[in-house]
Amino acid sequence: MDDAHSAAPAWLGDPNLLAAFWRYERALMTNDVAELDELFARGGTTVRSEAGSALVGHDAIASFRAARPPVPLRHLRRVHLRPISADAAVIIAETIRGDRGTGVQTQLWQRVEGLWEVTVAHVSTVPGLQFSAPKLTAAEERAIWATPEARRPLVESVAHPDAVAHPDAVAHPDAQAHPDGTGRVGSLAGVRVAVKDLFAIAGERIGAGNPTFLAGKSAETTTSPAVAALLAEGAEITGLAQTDELAFSIAGTNVHYGTPPNPAAPGRIPGGSTSGPASAVALGLADLGLGTDTAGSIRVPGSYTGLFGLRTTHDAVSREGLVPLAPSFDTVGLLARDLPTLAAGARAILSTGSTAPGNSADAARSDSAAPPAAISTLIVDPSLVALADADTQASFEAGLRALSLASGTPVVQTSSAIDPAELEVWFDAFRLVQQFEAWVSDRSFVEANPGALDPAISERFRVASGLTDNQALDARLVLARATVRLEQLVPPGSALALPSTSGPAPERDASPAEIDRVRGATLRLTCLASLSGLPALTLPFGRVGTLPVGLCLIGARGADQALIGLATPRA
């Protein structure tokens, strides 16, 4: 353990109890019936309930277990611990399967002669969502898609000569062999991708969430490498999906095209700026969303719509053909309903990384050929967690306990916490550089088209236009130091866990003051990966009431796939 880290946080719970729970979870995943029987208390009073009835007695439960098929592989999404006494506790585990089916498992654990065992259990599950095409209004269609239905899918899948079925290729029911004559299947065969309307696709015009921008564009002549990489693995593009205007927002609203629906939190914003892909994937209209993340534009919609999302290491994926916002921070990212799809997408796009020095502080690059170092420590910084709303903090703890148990990875609390005042300095510097670069990126468009932008976005550019080179230079120096601090905090082989957003999605009609508060609190969390260029994975493990809120992992540079590996359920 790194010197900067102290012991596990107290809320994690009694290590012996958690070890017993972990043994149980592992035995469940490997269908180790003998071990499961061992962990259930002997005798006639043990109760196991499921659906509409209870089985009473160890023998009846063992008979049931011997006869049932193995439990499907699943994520532990949240694990709640409720101690009763030194020798008794209830553990509630919320789970989610690859097919989006969910479950809850309530267990009374009691310590008998020094050993923890289950004396009462109750399990319930719901099947995976069946994505029959949702009925959308014309306004919802327009808010999600930049390309009208008649023109989707835009691009036929192309057979990549090197595409081979990956050993853990996504098992999509409609996956077919590519018509390249080799019989080989790309790892994304059958996967439908919603591409944020910032990426170049040959023959298509880029809209960037603004009609005037679109009107001024002609059709692209080349396709962005990230898009091409997905196509090469057999993915199909379902359409270009909407973005917040010029990607300069994390709300998921757009005055020109409307707000895409958030099926996981009806009546609430979906988060942005990768709003259209998030909505499309959450609705089941696409399986994978290709987007960008500058200040949180993958992580925020992922958190708000209950999706897995990856912000890749800065420069690990090519940004060629992409409309820039703030190149020092701009990254390509992905959203998916399940982790195998996200993993397959990540493998594809991470092969496109530029080798030229990027704009971020550090030049270390992800090497997609070398297997990333496995992550063996989860780090938590209480001062970062404290930035979230109280309910979100509690849910975060349950989620982190779940991740620790499912992956067998210890959680340690850092002793070199980020001071709130220090974070404020970093955040100000980040925002300044982002605005400075955004003005560089969009100045010509903004100046040439007065009145074309949402007044709120316009105001951001007005502020940005007043920044000086010296201000930007000072801020970059702050960010360079902050990056060193963060790299020390998250060495290779570790991941920093924090809430993806300060809370669940605000209501669509929340007051501007409330929206601002949420935006400020969330950006203080998201800016850490953004300013340092480190990869970040958001997991849909948290809930406040019924609303999703993500758990975020920040990894060392290039640890994109290691983060996914950490979160992947194992038998």
Which window, 46-54, 154-162, 423-431, 463-471, contacts its own copies (CB under 8 A)?
46-54
Of residues 78, 94, 17, the one with CA closest to residue 397: 78
CB-wise, 90 or 467, nearer to its own copies?
A: 90
Binding positions for its own copies, 313-342, rule CB under 8 A: none
DSSP string, 231-272: HHTT-EEEEEE--SGGG--SS---TTT-PPP-TTSTTB---S
Rounded Cα distance between 511 and 393, Å, is 23
Q: Is 124 in the site for its own copies (CB under 8 A)?
A: yes
By beta-carbon proximity to its own copies, the closer residue of 25 and 454 is: 25
Task: Compute the least distance from the CB of residue 110 to its own copies, in Å.
Answer: 7
Site string for its own copies, 388-407 (x = CB under 8 A): --xx--xx--x---------
Tell me the two tokens of residue 201: 């696709």
14 binds its own copies (CB under 8 A): no
Range in contact with its own copies (rule: CB under 8 A) among 74-82, 290-298, 489-497, 531-539: 74-82
**Residue at token pair 């799809």:** 341
CA distances from residue 425 to 406, 429, 430, 482, 502 in whole angstroms, order as listed? 36, 6, 9, 9, 19
Measure the CA–CA gap between 517 and 537, rounded to whole angstroms: 24
- The reply on whether position 122 binds its own copies by CB under 8 A is yes
52 binds its own copies (CB under 8 A): yes
Q: Which residues pair with 80 in a beta bridge?
A: 92
- Between vectors from CA 75 to CA 73 and to CA 79, what angle results, nearest 5°? 130
DSSP state of 149: G
Binds its own copies by CB under 8 A, chosen from 76, 108, 188, 226: 108
Nearest Cα to Cα of residue 332 among 315, 354, 348: 315
Q: Is the Cβ of residue 330 or residue 397 nearer to its own copies in the bound state?
A: 397
Q: Minimal distance in Å, beta carbon 313 to its own copies?
A: 33
To its own copies, the closest distance from the beta carbon of 124 in angstroms equals 4
Residue 94 vs 560, nearer CB to its own copies: 94
120 binds its own copies, rule: CB under 8 A: yes
544 lines the binding site for its own copies (CB under 8 A): yes
Q: Contact 201/234 with Cβ under 8 angstroms?
A: no
Size of the site for its own copies (CB under 8 A): 49
Q: How does DSSP assign 157-217, residue by residue?
A: ----TT----TT----TT----TTTT----TTTT-EEEEETTB--TT----TT-HHHHHT-
Nearer to its own copies, 52 or 450 (CB): 52
> Interface residues for its own copies in 77-106 (CB under 8 A)?
78, 80, 82, 84-85, 88, 90, 92, 94-96, 101-104, 106
Distance CA 557, CA 312 (A): 9
We find the least distance from the C-beta atom of residue 446 to its own copies, in angstroms, to be 43
Residue 53 interacts with its own copies (CB under 8 A): yes or no: yes
| Residues contributing to the site for its own copies (CB under 8 A) | 44-45, 47, 49-57, 60, 63-64, 78, 80, 82, 84-85, 88, 90, 92, 94-96, 101-104, 106, 108, 110, 119-120, 122-126, 390-391, 394-395, 398, 543-546
